[in-house]
A and B are shown apart, each in its own frame.
Chain A
Amino acid sequence: MKIEKYAVPLSTGQTIQCEYDPDGDLLEIYFSRSEAMAAIELTDNMVLRFDWENCTPLSLSIISFSTLLQPSRYGAMHFELLVEEWPEESQEKILAMLRKPPLTDFLTLSSYTPAHANRVIPTTAVKQIPALVAA
């Protein structure tokens, strides 16, 4: 089992560590090595672990990561945020984390409104991470 490790500088000046498992095509971005007190499925291909009390992200895992680096005809791929699967009391906490660093260094938040639908679908996309793309 081979795990590749990368140091990634954040907009906050902090440097964090990412681990990539090439066999499993799994990227884990560690903002802190503290034991997580909560984790949710952010999208179908991302898991967010966080500190429930302080509302701080501890790690972000991206499944099938290499597929997100491949060129796409229409630009960045967006994935639906699985808000309805999160416990109600955590929804605002999670959205607040998504709106500020360090998660904004890796993800963009957006939304999509299909025609004839009476709801807005929240989505996210993974930003290009120069330290990882170069690797």
Chain B
Amino acid sequence: MRQWALHDRDGREIYLTEEQWEHIVSGHGELRHHLDDVLNTIRHGRRRQQPTDPNTYMYRLRCDLLRRPYNGVLVVVIFRFTQDEHGQLTPNNFVVTAWGIIMR
């Protein structure tokens, strides 16, 4: 299965699977045809930590390419670690979902 791997503005690697992307656009149709804008939100957006889960962050970025009145993209990313067969921990940071939003 295809996936996109990229880095946020502080160099953290984050990935989005094609399966997750299909699920996102099936529920949030405003982002259909805007994969690049979602990826750009992770690359360049500012992130905010979730109040109840320190491993979950929201990335947001203004985007004027969406249909009106949407003018921004919001992406949820979870930061975790996975352990390989040698006991080494490796980052496992993935996109959960995304929305087109109206920002002020």
Contacts and interface: CB of A to CB of B under 8 A. Distances in A.
Interface of A: 1, 3, 19, 21, 23-26, 28, 35-41, 44-45, 47, 49, 52, 59, 61, 63-64, 67-68, 77, 79, 84-88, 90
A47 B17 CA distance: 22
B50 A44 contact: yes
B59 interface: no
B102 A63 contact: no
Nearest to A66: B53
B69 A38 contact: yes
A59 B104 CA distance: 21
A43 to B, nearest CB: 8
Which range contains the number of B residues in contact with the other chain?
20 to 34
A63 B104 CA distance: 21
A91 B102 CA distance: 12
A19 B78 CA distance: 18
A79 B51 contact: yes
- Central interface residue in A28, A36, A52, by most chain B CB within 10 Å: A36
Contacts of B50: 44-45, 63-64
A1 B96 contact: no
Contacts of A79: 51
A61 B102 contact: no
8 contacts: A24-B97, A25-B56, A36-B29, A61-B97, A67-B52, A67-B53, A84-B104, A85-B103
Contact of A47 (B23, B74, B78): B74
B23 A44 contact: no
Given A63-B96, A67-B53, A77-B52, 11 more contacts: A19-B27, A36-B28, A38-B69, A39-B99, A44-B50, A59-B27, A63-B56, A63-B76, A67-B52, A87-B104, A88-B104
